[in-house]
């Protein structure tokens, strides 16, 4: 006796199976739309900008003359900015994560800080710019220098570092801590010599991702008031500065006036994306190579 008549099943389910197939193709197309835009964007930027990248472009100062304009100042500005953002955000982010994961008692206060960090991550970056303008630039009278921009950016990317570090600390198994206590180590010794070394790949990955966010961020710096003028190269964290995204911004909005500025913007985008690609590759390598599975 035949239990299932496949012809009958086909007949009954045919329409539904066909809908399933059609929708599957639709879902695939949707997924590909994002990727197509990505390819067009990359193609567009490379086609416009690649021809403009040469040694002069990389090492020259800014100039109103498109043929002589270079982005050395913006590259140096980005580096100086990172010299402020990296230590500040690492110190605050890792410290907060250690407190939350290792010391804080599970309770209202801990979940209050946790909720606060989640909300901070959702605050628009431009609002951080307003905070920086009010507190660092005007309140402390720093002016629009690297230090003020860096502190603002450090607070902006802080939640990324905290969350990544917390996850890294949480993934260190309890038995490592217990073994350390068993050997007579104190809590801080255990954290310093056992937990942190085990968690460091995850923490570093988070830090690099946070920094790459800071490298590409523009909005808070426009609020702080980074000048479009030609300024000397920054030599310390107390100098005025510009960064790559700001340069892209000014060249893009001025491309209506001088057509070549659009190419300069595209060329700067290529450099910016290259820097981000390198940073993200380092993060991936660290994660894959050093992350131990317990």
Q: Which residue lies nearer to another protein by CB, 237 or 279? A: 279
Q: Which residue lies nearer to another protein by CB, 1 or 256? A: 256
The set of residues, in sequence order, having a beta carbon less than 8 Å from that of 96 and lying 6+ positions away, is 113, 117, 158, 162, 165
CB of 134 to another protein, least distance (A): 4
CA distance 236 to 148: 12
Q: Which residue lies nearer to another protein by CB, 175 or 188? A: 188
Residues in region 100-129 near another protein by CB under 8 A: 100, 103-104, 112-113, 115-120, 122-129
Q: Per-residue x/- marks for another protein, 207-236, CB under 8 A? A: -----x--xxxxx--xxxx-----------
CA distance 127 to 217: 13
Residues in region 132-171 near another protein by CB under 8 A: 133-135, 138, 155, 158-159, 162
CB of 16 to another protein, least distance (A): 5
- List 66, 273, 282, 291, residue binding another protein (CB under 8 A): 273
- List 98, 160, 169, 271, residue binding another protein (CB under 8 A): 98
Give yes or no for residue 258 binding another protein (CB under 8 A): no
Read off the tokens for 255: 């491309």
CA distance 279 to 78: 13
Q: What are the φ/ψ torsions at residue 101 (nearest 5 degrees)?
A: -85, -35
Q: Which residue lies nearer to another protein by CB, 1 or 35? A: 35
- List 54, 64, 188, 278, residue binding another protein (CB under 8 A): 188
What number of chain residues touch another protein (CB under 8 A)? 86
Q: Which residue lies nearer to another protein by CB, 80 or 165? A: 165
Q: Which residue lies nearer to another protein by CB, 87 or 235? A: 87
- CB contact at 8 A, 202 and 176: no
CA 220 to chain centre: 14
User: At what angle are helices 72-98 and 146-170 packed, to 10 degrees?
Assistant: 40
Residues in region 36-95 near another protein by CB under 8 A: 37-38, 40-41, 44-45, 48, 91-92, 95
CA distance 95 to 286: 21
Give yes or no for residue 267 binding another protein (CB under 8 A): no
CB of 173 to another protein, least distance (A): 22
Q: Is 145 helix (H, G, I), strand (E, B) or coil?
A: strand
Q: Identify the residue whose tokens are 């606060």.
A: 116
Read off the tokens for 159: 């939640």
User: Both ends of the chain: CA-CA distance in Å?
Assistant: 54
Give yes or no for residue 290 binding another protein (CB under 8 A): no
Q: Identify the residue whose tokens are 């990317």.
A: 157
């Amino acid at each position: 006796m035949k239990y299932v008549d496949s012809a009958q099943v086909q007949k009954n389910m045919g329409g539904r199976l066909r809908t399933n197939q059609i929708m599957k193709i639709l879902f695939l197309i949707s997924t590909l739309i994002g990727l197509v835009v990505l390819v067009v964007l990359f193609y567009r930027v490379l086609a416009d900008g690649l021809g403009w990248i040469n040694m002069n472009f990389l090492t020259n100062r800014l100039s109103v003359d498109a043929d002589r304009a270079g982005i050395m100042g913006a590259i140096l500005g980005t580096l100086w900015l990172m010299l402020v953002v990296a230590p500040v955000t690492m110190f605050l982010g890792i410290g907060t994560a250690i407190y939350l994961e290792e010391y804080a008692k599970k309770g209202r206060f801990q979940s209050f800080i946790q909720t606060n960090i989640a909300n901070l991550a959702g605050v628009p970056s431009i609002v951080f710019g307003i905070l920086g303008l009010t507190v660092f630039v005007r309140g402390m009278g720093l002016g629009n220098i690297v230090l003020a921009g860096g502190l603002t950016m450090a607070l902006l990317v802080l939640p990324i570092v905290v969350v990544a570090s917390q996850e890294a600390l949480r993934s260190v198994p309890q038995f490592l801590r217990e073994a350390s206590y068993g050997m007579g180590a104190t809590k801080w010794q255990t954290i310093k010599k056992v937990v942190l070394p085990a968690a460091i790949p995850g923490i570093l990955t988070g830090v690099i991702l946070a920094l790459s966010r800071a490298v590409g961020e523009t909005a808070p710096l426009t609020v702080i008031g980074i000048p479009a003028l030609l300024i000397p190269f920054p030599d310390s964290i107390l100098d005025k500065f510009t960064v790559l995204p700001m340069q892209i911004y000014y060249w893009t909005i001025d491309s209506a006036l001088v057509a070549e500025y659009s190419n300069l913007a595209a060329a700067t985008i290529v450099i910016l994306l290259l820097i981000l690609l390198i940073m993200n590759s380092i993060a991936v390598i660290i994660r894959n190579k050093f992350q131990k599975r317990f």
